[in-house]
Structure 1
Amino acid sequence: MEATDLYPIGELARRTGLSVRTIRFYSDEGLVAPTTRSPAGYRLYDLDALVRLELLRTLRELGLDLATSRQVLDRRLSLGEVAAVHADALDAQIQALRLRRTLLRVVARRGSDPEETAIMHRLMQLSDEERRRLIDDFVDGTFGTSGTSGTSSMSGPSGTSGTSGPSGPSGSADRAGSAEAMVRAATPTLPDDPSDEQVAAWVELAALVGDEAFRERMRRTTLRLSAGHPPAVEVEAGEELMAVTRERVADALECGVDPLTDRAAPVVEELVRRFGEAFGRTPDREFREWLARRFEEEQDPEVDRYWRLVWIVNGWQVVPGLVPVHSWLVRALRA
């Protein structure tokens, strides 16, 4: 056929791969109008109609609706502009599907009941901005002046909480500001394509930050750290030894070393030897248990768990100065 030939609707369907019914629908909608009709009244289309139909089929396969497709066909919108918008929309859909897939895997692995599954689903439906707001609300409620418990603790005497340091409202505010900065520096951010472990950690973290009792414990522990008043056992051990301890434990955490496995043994043996020298004790089993008790006295397992969950969500990005030495070391010493 030459370019000037006319195509009956059946030939048009064969060339485009569209059904006769679909072409007739597009024709009735004015998207691809027939050029003329045969003496018997059948629709006939020219080459321009064929090209227009092929473009329309492509647009529809890309997910564009009829209204948008019409604007592209009529050149009221450029294909580039439309493609950019739909590519962004597809990115969002792909991310949502990935999160849904990961959530299903977590549910399958944990054998979650319907109530827990519903909670996880609601949490995973949150946008990035909503997840950030959840953490911001936690930090504001823990350290901000608007929270009831935060206001009460900050306005009271500095010695009330068991920590020393600058007295009065100014010193208390400085410590609160420093503590808040420490927590904000490690804001958990769920990646676009999280692992099963990261999803499970995020769900647990979301539940933890909503606990009012935990907020108070988090505030008390972090204020102590930011004020430069470490636990007694750390003071007795000395700054140099604790710096080494944090470095060793941070490396172990980054490598995913479980404190209850043989992989932790070299780290523990080195640290026990160093602590034995610092305290003038024989690094035997009795000393290990004594050391474990000392660290355990200062430990808040929920606060340590918070930091561990943050690092899991962020992909093991260890935050200097906030390594949960106590929790990991106590478990390793007793392994």
Structure 2
Amino acid sequence: MDGDALFTIGDLARRTGLTVKTIRFYSDAGIVPPTDRSPSGYRLYDVGALARLDLVRTLRDLGVELAVVRRVLDREVSVSEVAAAHADALEVQIRTLHLRRAVLRAVAERGSTTEEMTLMHRLAKLTDEERERLVAEFIDDTFGRYDANPELVAMMRAAAPVLPEDPAPAQVEAWVELAELTRDPEFRASVRRMAEYQAAERARGDDTGLHHELTETVREEVGRALAAGTAPASVQGAAVLDRLTARYAQTFGRADDAELRRWLLHRLEVAGDPRAERYWHLLATVNGWPVPEGLGPVFGWLGEALLAHPGQ
């Protein structure tokens, strides 16, 4: 019976599919020591050694290091503990492979240079925490010294870029562009001007916060004007502008006069950097959120209308 049988290294090789050389290595290393020796000095192994060898092969096939295999066999750690730790390690490796695949696909689609590929790979390998710190540093540098709109700053801090486990090439590209944008000195200076302007407005008593409803009103009114081909300088354009300035006056508690229109035009100029809108579009792409509809044409039309109809 097998329970009483002893096997040579050749027998073990035939039963396990391992090579004689591999089994001899495990035997020499003391991982699967021989049970006995034949009269002529050949190593012999019992059923327990065969089972031990099967476990070694299984763990090694799963990528478990030999030193860890030895600890399992010596009962220093359990198989379940090793399995859990190894599964965690594999998760990291799988995520890394997914990122590499996404980077390579993005490089192939863009026809990137070697330098661009290196940058994409380096930035894509950042952890979620590192990505969050990069954006947090950008916000601290641009808004940190000013008492700007707290709702906007809180929204920016909450909207951290998080690449999914298996990102699409477009998400990797968006993250790389976003990272480059946050490090652009000119963009940082532009955002600081926005923060400084907001702080000055708050010092003058503006605590109205964000204005999502007002923005939607502008989007709808100007959107209809754009769809109808209404020129900003036309009589019809003036009527659209009148409705909008009335809404701005109501929201901010100001008189609907020429001063309001000058103030609004300056406000649009300060916030008119298209890179600010690009920032939110890239962030949405990275995180897999719906990309917001661009407001550039809308506020461009409104600015032209304000220049054409400065009021009395």
The TM-score bracket by the shorter chain reads 0.7 to 0.9
Partner of 2:239: 280
Report if the CA contact (8 A) 2:149-2:198 is conserved. Answer: no
Partner of 1:308: 281
Aligned equivalents of 1:269 and 1:277: distance in 2?
13
Report if the CA contact (8 A) 1:106-1:199 is conserved. Answer: yes
Partner AA of 1:107 in structure 2: V
Q: Does 1:75 align with 2:45?
A: no
Tell me which of 153, 173, 176 is aligned to 1:203.
176
Q: What does the per-residue CA deviation read over 1:227-281, in whole Å, with 9 as the maximum and x for residues that have no partner?
A: 889xxxxxxxx986742455899xxxxxxxxxxxxxxx999638979x9978426
Partner of 1:138: 138
Report if the CA contact (8 A) 1:209-1:215 is conserved. Answer: yes
Give % identity: 50
CA distance change for structure 1 residues 24 and 140 in 2, over 3 Å: closer, same or farther? same
Q: What does the per-residue CA deviation read over 1:279-320, in whole Å, with 9 as the maximum and x for residues that have no partner?
A: 426xxxxxxxxxxxx89966311111111111111112568x
Partner of 1:54: 54
CA distance change for structure 1 residues 27 and 272 in 2, over 3 Å: closer, same or farther? farther
CA distance change for structure 1 residues 108 and 66 in 2, over 3 Å: closer, same or farther? same
Aligned equivalents of 1:305 and 1:7: distance in 2?
71
Partner of 2:103: 103
Normalising by structure 2, report the TM-score.
0.74
Partner AA of 1:197 in structure 2: A
Partner of 1:127: 127
SS in 2 for 1:215: helix
1:1-335 aligned at under 5 Å gives the runs 1-145=1-145, 154=146, 173=147, 175=148, 177-221=150-194, 242-244=215-217, 246=219, 269=227, 279-280=238-239, 299-317=272-290, 324-327=294-297
Aligned equivalents of 2:225 and 2:2: distance in 1?
82
Report if the CA contact (8 A) 1:143-1:176 is conserved. Answer: no
Aligned equivalents of 1:315 and 1:228: distance in 2?
34
Normalising by structure 1, report the TM-score.
0.69
Aligned equivalents of 2:51 and 2:224: distance in 1?
71
Report if the CA contact (8 A) 2:6-2:47 is conserved. Answer: yes
Aligned equivalents of 2:201 and 2:60: distance in 1?
63
CA distance change for structure 1 residues 10 and 306 in 2, over 3 Å: closer, same or farther? same
SS in 2 for 1:77: coil
Partner of 1:169: none
**Total equivalences in the alignment:** 265
Report if the CA contact (8 A) 1:307-1:324 is conserved. Answer: no
CA distance change for structure 1 residues 102 and 17 in 2, over 3 Å: closer, same or farther? same
Partner AA of 2:104 in structure 1: L
Partner AA of 2:178 in structure 1: L
Aligned equivalents of 2:221 and 2:72: distance in 1?
61
Partner AA of 1:214 in structure 2: F
Report if the CA contact (8 A) 1:178-1:226 is conserved. Answer: no
CA distance change for structure 1 residues 122 and 270 in 2, over 3 Å: closer, same or farther? same
Partner AA of 1:326 in structure 2: G
Report if the CA contact (8 A) 1:301-1:327 is conserved. Answer: no
5+ residue gaps, structure 1? 146-153, 155-172, 230-237, 250-264, 282-293
Report if the CA contact (8 A) 2:143-2:195 is conserved. Answer: no
Partner AA of 1:215 in structure 2: R
C-alpha RMSD of the superposition: 3.4
Aligned equivalents of 1:247 and 1:41: distance in 2?
92
